[in-house]
Structure 1
C-alpha cells in the first residue's frame, strides 16, 4: 500500500502527516452528497463486525467511567486505532452511554488545507462501516452562514481523517440517537478561533457534547513526549486560552529533538477553551495518556506521537442526605452535649467508628436551642473542617453556654430546652438575587472582612420579602448597611433541618 507524506504548517513547527488511501476511493469523486469513509481499512477495520468488535474491546479494557456529573466535552486522539484506540476509548468511557445528547460537535483541525476559517459539512451525512451518522443540517446551515469564520466548502472534509475516526466510537458508545456537527478548522489564527467559539457559544449546553479530535506531541522520543504531553495537558486543563498558548510556545522553545508540534489540532483545542473559559463548575480530568511507542510490536520509542484523553465535566452537586436514624443520632449527641455544658461537665467521649460514614464526613452545622418556643441560643459553623458528629457536639455545647446574647443555660432549664439542628450544604455564589428561593436557601453575605448569614428558616419565620431578607442580613448580620448587599458577594446554601420531638 502506498502512502504519501504531506507537510502542513503548525504552531511553531510543521506536522508531517501520513495519508493512507482506503479502497482506492480516496481520490475518486463522491457520487452523492454523503461523505464516504476515507480511512476505513487503514486507520480502522472496514468490516463492520470487526470494527464493532475492536471498538467494543477498547471500551471494555479502557479506563473505567463514567465521570460523575455531565460530560460536556472530550479531547481524544485520532490516530490509527492500533495506536490510539485504547486512549480514545478511555475518553469515551467517561460519557454516560444513555445520556440524551442531541448533537455531538466534532472539532477537528485540517491536516491539509488553510482556508482561514472553519469548514462545516452541510451537503449530506457522514458514512462509516457501521452505518450512517446524521448531520444536523439546521445547525450546519446556520454556522455556514457565518461567513466571517465558517464556510460550507466540503473539500476540507473529503480526505480529513480526524472527524471520521471518532464516529465508530460514538456509534458504539452512545445508546441514544444523536446528530453530529462536523467542523474542520482550516485556520491557525487564534483570533479566528475566538470568532468560531463565539458562533458556537449558543450550542455549548448540556444537550450537546463537544469532541476535540487531537493528537499531542509529534515525533520526539517517548521520554520527551511524556514530558511535553504532560505540560500541554496541564496547560489545557487550566481552562485558560492564554496559558495554553504559552505552554505550546514554551514546549517549542525547549528544542526537544524531533518535536514539530505539541498538539496537531491545537486550534480546535483553543476554540474549546474559548467556549469553556469563565464557565462555572467545569472540571477538567486527565483520563489516560500514552504514546505510539507504548504499542507493541509496532512502537518506535525514538520517534513517537503522544495521545491524551481529557474529559470536561460539569460538577455534580453532591447531595448530602441524612436518614431518620442519622438525624436521631445527631440529636442524641447534641442533647448529651448541652446537658454536659449546662452542668459544667466534660463532653462525652465519641468513638468515630460507631457512626455511619455520612456522619463522619466534614460538614457545617448550626444548633438552635429554644425554651418555650423562644430562642435560647444559636451558634454554628460553615467550615467543613471536622466530622459532622464532632461539629454537632461542639456547637451544641457552645450554643448552650457561649452565645453572648444569652446567659448560659442552667441545669434546671434543660427539661424545657428543645434542640434543632441545621446541617448545611456547601455555599454557592449567585449572580442574580432571583436565584434565591425564600424558605429553601440560607443567605451568606460577604464584603471585605465583614460577613453575615441567615439560616433558610429565618425567611419563613419572619415572613420577610426577598429584599427584606437581604437588607436585614446585610444590616443586622454583616454590618454593611441595609443596601450593602448590592456591592457584596452573595452566597446561598441549603440546610437539612430537624428537631427533637416531644419537648
Structure 2
C-alpha cells in the first residue's frame, strides 16, 4: 500500500501553524492548567477540541493529569466525525499524522488488527482528511509527553450508539496499563451562557457515573427540553459512549472531572451563543476493591488511619510524638501486618517508607512509617511545617509475602515484588507498575538494580516474592 501521511487540516485556524509560536502557546496553556488531582496511572482523558484560544486551557488541564515522563506505548485517539455520517469507526492506516511539531507515528500493526476484528472498524483516509477533532489534540501530546508513543486514530460514526458498542468490544483488550485513551469532545453547542452551564453540568454528571445508559438518557432529556439555541449537548457523544462501554466493565478505575468552562469565558467570547468544554480523567487505581487476599478495611477504618497519619505528620514535623490511641477496638487496625506510607505534594512524591514487619499492629506501623516518610526518606529533604497543608497521604496495607517459583507468576499492577539476595533487598509496591508502565522485565530489573543494589539482572538468581496491597488515600476515601 502506498504510504500517504495525514497532513494538518486546521493549522493556522484552530492553532498556530508556526512551530515556535505553537510551542509557546502550549507552554502558556500548560502554565494555566489545573495541577494533577491523582497519583494513579491515567488510563484516559476526555478533552475539548475547539480553537486553542477558546478551549486550550481546559484541554491542557486534562493532559496535565498525565505525568510528563509516563511511558505510554500507544495513544488511542478517538473522536466523533463532524464531516461525514457513517456507522462504526474509521481508522487511519495509510501513513502517519503530521503537525507543525513533527510526525506522530501511527501504529499500523494495531490499526490493521482492529480493521480485521470484524467490529465495524474500517480504514478510510478521506473521512480523516478534513476532521479537526483528532488533529488538535496531537500538539498537546507532542509537547507534554517526554517519551515517544504510537498513535491509533479512530473516528466514530456521529449518530451510531450500536456501532460504538461494537467498536468498544474490540478496543477493550487495549484498555490496559501502558496505553492511553484520549477522547475528543465538546459539550453543549450554541445555547446562551447560563443554559450551557446547567446543561453541561448535567451531562458531565452522567459521564462521571460511568454508565453508558445514563449518558444516553441525559442526552435525550436535554433534547426534549428544546432549550434556546441548543443543537447538541455533546458533539462527541458516540466517542464518550465508546469509552464508557469499556470503563463500565473495568474494576480498577475511577472518573474525575478536572476543569470546565465555555467559549463565553474567552476574551473574545460571545455569551449569547456558546460552546461548552469539559476535561475529565480516568484513573486506573492499583486497588479499588475493599478486599485483598481475605483482608479488608471499611471506610471508617480507612478514614481513621488517614486522619491519624495526618496527626502523626503534623507532630513529627514539629518534633513531637503522638500518644497511643485509646479504646481502639477494631480487629483490623490491631492486626499485625506491614504497610507503606507515601506522601505527595501537588501530585509529586515527597516521601515513601514502609516495611513488612508483621510483629506490630497496623495502626502502629502507620504511625512509624508516616513519621519516617516525613523526616527520614534519604531521597528528599524533611517535610517542613510550611508544606503541611499541601501534603496528601496514600497508605498501602500489605498482605504477607509469598515466594514465587517462576517470575511469570507475577502480575504487574496486582502484585508488589520483593527481591532478596545475600542480605540485600528491594521492593516495589503494586502501583509502581501502573504508574511507570514498565514491563515485568523492567520492573524486576529496576527493583534489583535501583532498590536492592544487585544490578539489572540480579533478580535472576535472587529470591523473588510477591504480595498485594490495599491502597487508599486522601483522594480515594
Tell me which interval the TM-score lies in, with the shorter structure as reference length.
Answer: 0.5 to 0.7
Distance 1:303 1:353, change over 3 A: closer
Q: Which residue of 1 aligns with 2:332?
A: 382
| Contact 1:364/1:423, CA 8 A, preserved across alignment | no
1:121 counterpart = 2:60: no
1:224 counterpart = 2:224: no
Distance 1:383 1:165, change over 3 A: same
* Aligned counterparts of 1:63 and 1:362: Cα–Cα separation in 2: 39
Distance 1:34 1:359, change over 3 A: farther
Q: Which residue of 2 aligns with 1:64?
A: 35
* Aligned counterparts of 1:295 and 1:193: Cα–Cα separation in 2: 33
* Aligned counterparts of 1:291 and 1:114: Cα–Cα separation in 2: 26
Alpha-carbon displacement from aligned partner over 1:370-415 (angstroms, at most 9, x marks no partner): xxxxxxxxx743379xxxxxxxxxxxxxxxxxxxxxxxxxxxxxxx
* Aligned counterparts of 2:240 and 2:132: Cα–Cα separation in 1: 17
204, 208, 212: which is aligned to 1:237? 208
State the SS of the aligned residue for 2:13.
Answer: coil
TM-score under structure 2 length normalisation: 0.63
46, 61, 64: which is aligned to 1:93? 64
* Aligned counterparts of 1:154 and 1:136: Cα–Cα separation in 2: 15
1:315 counterpart = 2:308: no
360, 369, 376: which is aligned to 1:421? 360
Q: Which residue of 2 aligns with 1:37?
A: 8
Q: Which residue of 2 aligns with 1:48?
A: 19
* Aligned counterparts of 1:144 and 1:364: Cα–Cα separation in 2: 63
Alpha-carbon displacement from aligned partner over 1:123-165 (angstroms, at most 9, x marks no partner): 0000000000000000001111234411101111000000100
Alpha-carbon displacement from aligned partner over 1:57-102 (angstroms, at most 9, x marks no partner): 1011111126311000000000011111111001111000100000
Alpha-carbon displacement from aligned partner over 1:108-132 (angstroms, at most 9, x marks no partner): 0001212211001000000000000
Cα deviation, residue 206, structure 1: 1.0
* Aligned counterparts of 2:4 and 2:325: Cα–Cα separation in 1: 59
State the SS of the aligned residue for 2:362.
Answer: strand
Distance 1:356 1:235, change over 3 A: same
| Contact 1:365/1:382, CA 8 A, preserved across alignment | no
| Contact 1:91/1:309, CA 8 A, preserved across alignment | yes
* Aligned counterparts of 1:221 and 1:256: Cα–Cα separation in 2: 10
49, 58, 76: which is aligned to 2:47? 76
Q: Which residue of 2 aligns with 1:305?
A: 275
| Contact 1:117/1:187, CA 8 A, preserved across alignment | no
* Aligned counterparts of 1:204 and 1:437: Cα–Cα separation in 2: 29
Distance 1:292 1:32, change over 3 A: same
Distance 1:139 1:354, change over 3 A: closer
State the SS of the aligned residue for 1:183.
Answer: strand
* Aligned counterparts of 1:304 and 1:135: Cα–Cα separation in 2: 34
| Contact 1:284/1:311, CA 8 A, preserved across alignment | yes
Alpha-carbon displacement from aligned partner over 1:313-340 (angstroms, at most 9, x marks no partner): 113569xxxxxxxxxxxxxxxxxxxxxx
Distance 1:248 1:364, change over 3 A: farther
Q: Which residue of 2 aligns with 1:262?
A: 233
Match runs of 1:107-118 below 5 Å? 107-118=78-89
1:152 counterpart = 2:123: yes
Cα deviation, residue 247, structure 1: 1.2
| Contact 1:77/1:213, CA 8 A, preserved across alignment | yes
* Structure 1 gaps, min length 5: 1-30, 319-349, 367-378, 385-418, 429-434, 441-491, 496-503
| Contact 1:220/1:257, CA 8 A, preserved across alignment | yes
* Aligned counterparts of 2:97 and 2:312: Cα–Cα separation in 1: 62
State the SS of the aligned residue for 1:162.
Answer: coil
| RMSD across aligned positions (CA) | 3.4
Cα deviation, residue 280, structure 1: 1.7
- For structure 1, which segment, 41-50 or 419-428, has the greater mean C-alpha deviation from structure 2 after superposition? 419-428
Distance 1:352 1:287, change over 3 A: closer
| Contact 1:365/1:380, CA 8 A, preserved across alignment | no
Question: Runs of at least 4 residues of structure 1 off by over 4 A?
Answer: 350-366, 424-428, 435-440, 492-495
Q: Which residue of 2 aligns with 1:322?
A: none
Quick check: which has more Rg, 1 or 2? 1
